[in-house]
């Protein structure tokens, strides 16, 4: 399980274009790593567009935004193109990274239980140390709160 103040779990995943992205390769930059359930759903779209709209503000404080979901690269490509997202979406089809960060959870909708992503965001510093985590994210106000975290 992840713990604030400790090294963030390392990973290498493909993005929407098939490019391999590793957390280790981003050392020297802050990373906002957000886990979300599915591309093109209302909450996920609002969250992604919020990060899109504040992307320059994050970049101005040396921060990379990465979204992770179990969706495949083709679905990510459509999502990125439709909403003009300027950051990478990573494919975690086997949910191994979701599990490493403790966001692959049992969910319950209308009495039906299933496994899925619990919307969560992590801030990782330039040295790869986890500095902030937010679980069970509510989309409203979320992006501004994460921007405030990286500006400290």
Tokens of 39: 């591309």
Three-class SS state of 1: coil
- 49 carries an active-site annotation: no
Neighbours of 144 (CB within 10 A): 12
Contact 23, 31 (CB under 8 A): yes
Tokens of 55: 């992307």
Which one of 23, 32, 44, 137 is the catalytic residue? 44
Residues annotated as catalytic (active site), given as ranges: 44
């Amino acid at each position: 399980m992840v713990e604030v103040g400790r090294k963030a779990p390392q990973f290498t995943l493909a993005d929407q274009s098939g490019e391999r992205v590793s957390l280790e390769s981003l050392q020297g930059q802050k990373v906002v790593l957000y886990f979300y359930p599915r591309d093109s759903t209302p909450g996920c779209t609002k969250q992604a567009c919020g990060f899109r709209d504040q992307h320059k503000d994050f970049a101005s404080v040396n921060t990379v935004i990465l979204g992770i979901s179990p969706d495949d690269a083709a679905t990510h490509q459509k999502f990125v193109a439709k909403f003009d997202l300027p950051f990478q979406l990573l494919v975690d089809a086997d949910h191994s990274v979701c599990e490493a960060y403790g966001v692959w959870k049992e969910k319950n909708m209308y009495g039906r239980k299933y496994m899925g992503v619990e919307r969560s965001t992590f801030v990782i510093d330039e040295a790869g140390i986890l500095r902030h985590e937010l679980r069970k994210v509510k989309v409203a106000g979320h992006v501004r709160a994460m921007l405030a975290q990286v500006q400290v």
